[in-house]
Amino acid sequence: MATSETAPPTTPAAGPRRRLGRLERLAIEGVMTREVINWLSFWKSSTFSSTVEPTIYLVAFGFGFGSIVSEVGGYDYVDFVGTGTVATSVLFGSAFSAMFGSYVKREFQRTYDAILAAPVDVEELVTAEALWMATRASIYGCFPLLVAMIFGLDPSWGMLLVPFLCFPCAFGFASFGLLISALVKSIDSFSYYQSLILTPLFLVAGTFFPLDRLPEGVQILGEFNPLHHLVELVRGAAFGFDGWEALARVAALVVFAVVMWRLAIWRSTKRLIT
């Protein structure tokens, strides 16, 4: 019946030979602490760039196209774009900051060297970085909704789900950014991935125009675009979900997140451990 609670207080809590496992909470918390403390020192500029850009898209498209088209897919155009740019904001806040941020921390600031000399493994480092970037991007993702409300979007209870819907998508794109960062030879190479992958994903997500008028091939491709799933989910949260389809989209985002996460760990290990 002896339990650890009855042990005398002099017993050491943990022997020095205690095996350290994988994905330890302490290691992940440590890396995230570093990110949070750093973010607090530059949160203004970081928040500015991650929220103002989608807002500009929202205003430009909302008013630009809004003066020509008043209604799209049964929605007011401002409502349509306001909910759509949530995904844009998530993309900018996760993939871009993961690519550039991790490259700088690895190659220029040598931060990752410092962290990996402490009891932190690459798996924990990548996980912590992706978790933090995803959390931040999910919160930034709500800004376009708030801006759209100023322009007439009606608030709804479902919108409270938006940050949670953003999270798997943001985690996937943060991991994608970490993956690309681990692959490129120089920081200039990011522009290839930006132009060839991220820009098309961003344009063909159903943010600014609905995909259902496009050729069938493009529509099918759209179903492989995580941003499209997020766009549809956010509209669902704002205007009402359509049951199983929404669940399937959440499942797709979770699969995207897990696959990107493991790929990012794999490539980062190859890059950081020589």
Task: Point out which residues bind other proteins (CB under 8 A).
Answer: 16-20, 26-27, 29-31, 33-34, 37-38, 41-42, 109-111, 113-121, 272-274
Smaller CB separation from other proteins, 36 or 221? 36
Smaller CB separation from other proteins, 219 or 269? 269
- Could you tell me the two tokens for 98? 């993961």
C-alpha count within 13 angstroms, C-beta hemisphere, residue 133: 32
- Beta carbon of residue 112, minimum distance to other proteins (angstroms, whole number): 9
User: What is the DSSP-derived secondary structure letter of residue 197?
Assistant: I
Smaller CB separation from other proteins, 36 or 214? 36
- Beta carbon of residue 48, minimum distance to other proteins (angstroms, whole number): 16
Cα–Cα separations (whole angstroms), residue 106 to 27, 130, 187, 272: 18, 15, 11, 8
Smaller CB separation from other proteins, 113 or 212? 113
Helix 77-91 vs helix 25-64: crossing angle, to nearest 10: 150
d(CA 104, CA 152): 40
- Beta carbon of residue 20, minimum distance to other proteins (angstroms, whole number): 4
Characterise 153 by phi-psi region: left (phi > 0), alpha (psi -120 to 50), beta (else): beta
- Beta carbon of residue 3, minimum distance to other proteins (angstroms, whole number): 22
d(CA 126, CA 112): 10
Smaller CB separation from other proteins, 37 or 68? 37
Smaller CB separation from other proteins, 71 or 113? 113
Cα–Cα separations (whole angstroms), residue 267 to 177, 180, 184: 11, 9, 11
Cα–Cα separations (whole angstroms), residue 57 to 2, 46, 155, 228, 271: 65, 18, 20, 17, 36
- Beta carbon of residue 262, minimum distance to other proteins (angstroms, whole number): 20
Smaller CB separation from other proteins, 3 or 41? 41
- Beta carbon of residue 119, minimum distance to other proteins (angstroms, whole number): 4
The length of the chain in residues reads 274
- Beta carbon of residue 114, minimum distance to other proteins (angstroms, whole number): 4
Enumerate the β-bridge partners of residue 72.
Answer: 75
